Amino acid sequence: MEKVNKELNLSVIKAFKILEVYLNGKEVWGVRELAKKTGYNKTTTYRLLSTLESLDIVQKNDDDKYILGLKLFELGNLVSVYKSLRTFSRVPLEVIAKDIKETVHFGVLKNNQVLYLNKAESELGLKVSTQIGSYQQAYCTALGKVLLAFSSANVISDYLRNVSLEAFTSKTITTSKDLLIELEQVKTKGYALDMEELELGLICIAIPVFNKNKEVVAGVSVSGPSSRFKSENITSYLSIIKKGALEIEAHIRDYN
Amino acid sequence: MEKVNKELNLSVIKAFKILEVYLNGKEVWGVRELAKKTGYNKTTTYRLLSTLESLDIVQKNDDDKYILGLKLFELGNLVSVYKSLRTFSRVPLEVIAKDIKETVHFGVLKNNQVLYLNKAESELGLKVSTQIGSYQQAYCTALGKVLLAFSSANVISDYLRNVSLEAFTSKTITTSKDLLIELEQVKTKGYALDMEELELGLICIAIPVFNKNKEVVAGVSVSGPSSRFKSENITSYLSIIKKGALEIEAHIRDYN
DNA sequence: AAAATTGTTTCATAATACGAAACACTGTTT
DNA sequence: AAACAGTGTTTCGTATTATGAAACAATTTT
């Protein structure tokens, strides 16, 4: 999305830039709104939207505003990357979310970042604004820390060489030394916590998901508001999450 | 996808035509294969793929072949159309599939067709080549017949006026008169069967999913090979499917 | 080794995308 | 009621970009 040079198709880039506006969570956009958000001329935007509408990639609602369409949903379901992980995590995640009444995530370490493959929300809990398929920093999320902690020393040193530990909050770990200590503790305890390191008010707890060779493949995390978090909850949270993780592990023994 | 006229953006159309090739289920395509399949010049195809790759809409594997990429997965997950139905059907569908050991579908009637919103496959059962998000004829599928049978007379007469009942197999219902009789029976019995009407060798059984006003919202179907189907199975199949449908109904009482 | 197949690059030009301006419509303010 | 503000849609001249034939590079098959 940054390799904008002259041999790439500019119309196609523009069309996807428009679709990417929807990543912010707002479901309904007008032509002029999208033009303003993307910086494109409104006639260009209108024409691209008309094209996308003809393809059912976007749909118009009764107010002539645009929402994403079913063809995009259909195409999105064809993506085979991490397909087995996504499939096998689906039900366990929903079960954990229902049990624990908070938002549950499942993700992997990819390109030195957490990639969220699945998410299940409780009807009761805090809605967290992560998108399935999106990336987040590893060093300040419980999920990321658990994935790093159980990775090889190569992965960790590559990570520390390439990622700058910028602060999100006053509680964010911002030195390699502190992060290494934290990862060592995570590895010892078998789980990680994010105590408002990514976002003030947000607490996460995460555990690893292993293949049969005890290599970490993925992680499961539970996110909730700090106001609902108590140290006494950790043990019961962990046992619920662990049960779900074991369910996933039963299906991914050969994953590498 | 048929309104090709001069004010639509032809590059964007071409890019999505390329992506649509993946709908046939093959996950890995080379440049020349895609060019041949779409009919576009191979240089054009290569350039569009390079653009899509820069957007992470497609990814190249080690053999320089293309697979669909994670950004498409991310965008697909943003689609809000039928979102609650998709969410609430997910776990019940997986439970049915595990129980019944066949492929399970969940769909709605849209534009006089079945739109598949969810699908769950058993590890053991027949893999059916439907795509989530895709459409199928209603008159020759159990799911479609159950959706029609419990719809209003207006919906049914509109359907019969606009859809031509073409034969898929020698067992397909091809007259309005026969279809109306079938739909009456479906409504009386409370479930529908597709006895090789869509595809020889394929049997489906389906039941409706209602909202609190007893309006049909969606349907659940189970598909299996005719070799495994026995009349004695119907009752036990129905009770398993019904249990899943009730789970879904508990969440969609207000859906209309 | 030669032929066939693949993916990638080059270059001239035809075609298309672009955007300013106008239009049409709806809702709000004076 | 008229004026204004906001929206989505259309028009038209032209600048820009997309196109495709051909060549090149690499790999696989015969």
Instruction: Verify if strand D has an atom below 7 Å from the CB of B46.
Output: no
Q: How confident is the model at residue A3 (pLDDT cuts 50, 70, 90)?
A: very low
Q: How confident is the model at residue A1 (pLDDT cuts 50, 70, 90)?
A: very low
Q: What pLDDT does B4 receive?
A: 38
Side-chain half-sphere exposure of A231, counting CA atoms within 13 A = 0
Average pLDDT over residues A19-23: 96
Whose tokens are 């359907």? That residue is B159
Query: What token pair was written down for A255?
Result: 């994953």
**Length of chain B (residues):** 256
Q: Nearest CA to CA, how far is A225 from chain B (Å)?
A: 23
Q: Is B229 helix (H, G, I), strand (E, B) or coil?
A: coil
**By C-alpha distance, which of B148, B142, B182 is closest to B162?**
B148
Within 10 Å of residue B231's Cβ, how many Cβ atoms?
Answer: 7
Average pLDDT over residues B93-112: 94
Residues 6+ apart with CB under 8 A from B133: A70, A71, A73, A74, A75, A76, A77, B115, B116, B117
Average pLDDT over residues B180-193: 97
Search chain B and give the residue with CA nearest A44.
B9
Nearest nucleotide, CA B48 to C1' = D18
Q: Where in chain B is the domain with CATH 3.30.450.40?
A: 83-251
Average pLDDT over residues A95-112: 94
Q: Where in chain A is the domain with CATH 1.10.10.10?
A: 10-76
Average pLDDT over residues B122-147: 90
Q: What pLDDT does A5 receive?
A: 42
Q: Inter-axis angle of helices A10-20 and A31-38, to 10 degrees? A: 110
Closest protein CA to C1' of nucleotide C15, residue: B10
How distant is C1' of D11 from CA of B12, in Å? 22
Residues 6+ apart with CB under 8 A from A48: A11, A14, A15, A18, A40, B9, B12
Search chain A and give the residue with CA nearest B121.
A87
* Amino acid at position B20, single letter: E
Closest protein CA to C1' of nucleotide C6, residue: B32
Complex-level ipTM = 0.91
Check B74 against A133: CB less than 8 A apart: yes
C-alpha distance across the termini of chain A, in Å: 29
pLDDT of B126 over the 90 cut: no
**By C-alpha distance, which of A201, A184, A180, A182 is closest to A193?**
A182
Alpha carbon A187 to chain centroid distance? 22
Give me the A residues in range 193-222 that sit within 7 A (CB) of strand D. none
What is the Cα gyration radius of chain B?
20
Q: Per residue in B18-75, pLDDT tens?
A: 999 999 989 999 999 999 999 999 999 999 999 999 999 999 998 999 999 999 999 9
Question: Which of the nucleotides in strand C have any atom less than 7 Å away from a protein CB atom?
Answer: 5-10, 16-21
Phi/psi for B136 (5° steps) reads -145, 155
Whose tokens are 């998709």? That residue is B86
Q: How confident is the model at residue A127 (pLDDT cuts 50, 70, 90)?
A: confident
Q: How confident is the model at residue A53 (pLDDT cuts 50, 70, 90)?
A: very high
Average pLDDT over residues A72-99: 94
* Three-state SS annotation for B94-105: HHHHHHHCCEEE
Q: How confident is the model at residue B227 (pLDDT cuts 50, 70, 90)?
A: confident
Beta strands in chain A (DSSP E): 58-60, 66-68, 103-110, 113-120, 135-137, 192-195, 202-210, 216-225
Mean pLDDT estimate for chain B: 93
Alpha carbon A203 to chain centroid distance? 15
Q: What pLDDT does A126 receive?
A: 72
* Burial A35-51, CB ≥16 within 10 A → b, else e: bebbebeeeebebbbbb
Within 10 Å of residue B230's Cβ, how many Cβ atoms?
Answer: 10
Q: How confident is the model at residue B127 (pLDDT cuts 50, 70, 90)?
A: confident
Average pLDDT over residues B157-168: 96
The CA distance from A79 to B188, in Å, is: 41
Alpha carbon A96 to chain centroid distance? 17
Q: Which residues of A touch B76 (CB under 8 A)?
A: 72-77, 79, 133
Search chain B and give the residue with CA nearest A14.
B12
pLDDT of B3 over the 50 cut: no
CATH number corresponding to A10-76: 1.10.10.10
A53 exposure class (CB count in 10 Å sphere: 0-12, 13-18, 19+): middle
Q: Is the dihedral of CA B154, B155, B159, B162 positive or negative?
A: positive
Phi/psi for B72 (5° steps) reads -65, -40
Instruction: Verify if strand D has an atom below 7 Å from the CB of B44.
Output: yes
Q: Is A129 helix (H, G, I), strand (E, B) or coil?
A: coil
* Amino acid at position B255, single letter: Y
Within 10 Å of residue B213's Cβ, how many Cβ atoms?
Answer: 10
pLDDT of B213 over the 80 cut: yes
- Cα dihedral B142, B143, B149, B152, rounded to 10, equals -160
> Quick one: DSSP state of residue A143?
H
CA geometry: angle A1, B22, A218, nearest 5 deg: 65
Specify whether the CB–CB gap between A162 and A112 falls below 8 A.
Answer: yes
Q: Is A177 helix (H, G, I), strand (E, B) or coil?
A: helix
Instruction: Verify if strand D has an atom below 7 Å from the CB of A64.
Output: yes
Give the homologous superfamily in CATH for domain B83-251. Answer: GAF domain (3.30.450.40)
CATH number corresponding to A83-249: 3.30.450.40
pLDDT of A144 over the 70 cut: yes
